[in-house]
Homo-oligomer: A and B are copies of this chain.
Amino acid sequence: MNAEKIPDVIIARLPLYLRALQHMSENGLKSTSSQELGEKLGISAAQIRKDISQFGEFGKQGTGYAIPYLLDKLREILKVDRLWDVIIVGSGDMGHALARYQGFTDRGFNVVMIFDNDKDKVGEKIGDLTVKDSADLVEKVKTAGIKIAMLTIPASVAQDITDKLVEAGVKAILNYAPISLSVPNDVKVQYIDPATHLQRMTYYL
């Protein structure tokens, strides 16, 4: 197995397999098949078998996949067999919602800091977090060795903040600002923009 050679489209599907397997496991299931997984996900069984086999032989013909084992393997492959510290930049409505979201810790992520450049918001408590001043962003992120950030700031300041995050050593950005970001090759960006997602569906209406 050569990790460098696995196509991005396959990597993009693995979190969906992991999520479905976690649901099954929470419901007490111990084994599944590519057919069953495929029906839940709207992905063909053949595709699922092919994707998973890129990483080794995790299932047996006729008996399918042992869920706890496949869960462990997928977590290991996606490197969420650990808990990653994550920061949020922007303490508006979306930043609040993410800071209070309960669905991160059992999927590998721990929100440890939230920043805002609005002095009126700095010091505000959101759950266990206290809003920090964006002026201290680079220093605090660098010192803590944080690699992952979520951006919930206006598009107009998103590139500036991105440049600061890159300077601080961040390598993965989940961007809620409705704008495309420029980053070096070794930094990954994923985009969440509800209007873009909606526009991908209106074409078909």
Show the binding face of A for B, using Cβ within 8 Å: 11-12, 14-16, 18-20, 23, 40-42, 77-80, 84, 86, 92-94, 96-98, 100-101, 103-104, 107-109, 147-148, 150, 155, 171-172, 174, 178-180, 182, 188, 190, 192-205
* Docked CA distance A204–B86 (Å): 16
Q: A42 touches which one: B42, B179, B180, B199 (CB < 8 A)?
A: B180
Does the CB pair B11–A195 fall under 8 Å?
A: no
Distance, CA A155 to CA B150, complexed state (A): 22
Which of A16, A79, A104, A202 is packed against the most chain B CB atoms within 10 Å? Answer: A202
Q: Which chain B residue has the least Cβ–Cβ distance from A174?
A: B197
Residue from B101, B107, B108, B199 within 8 A of A108 (CB atoms): B199
* Copies of this chain, count: 2
Partner of A179, one of B23, B197, B202: B23
Shortest Cβ distance from residue A187 to the other chain B in the assembled complex, whole angstroms: 9
A195 to B102, CA, bound (A): 11
Q: Is the CB of A174 within 8 A of B194?
A: yes
Q: Once the chains are docked, how many angstroms separate the CA of A103 from the CA of B72?
A: 40
Verify B20–A199 contact, CB threshold 8 A. no
- Further 13 A-B residue pairs, CB within 8 A, beyond A11-B204, A104-B195: A15-B195, A19-B179, A41-B180, A42-B182, A84-B202, A93-B100, A98-B194, A103-B178, A104-B198, A148-B202, A172-B204, A188-B201, A190-B200
Assess the B147–A205 pair: CB atoms within 8 A.
yes
Indicate whether A202 sits within 8 Å of B80 (C-beta atoms), given known contacts A93-B96, A196-B15, A196-B16. yes
Cα distance A93–B103 in the bound complex, in angstroms:
13
Q: Could you say which residues of chain B place their CB within 8 Å of the CB of A100? A: 93
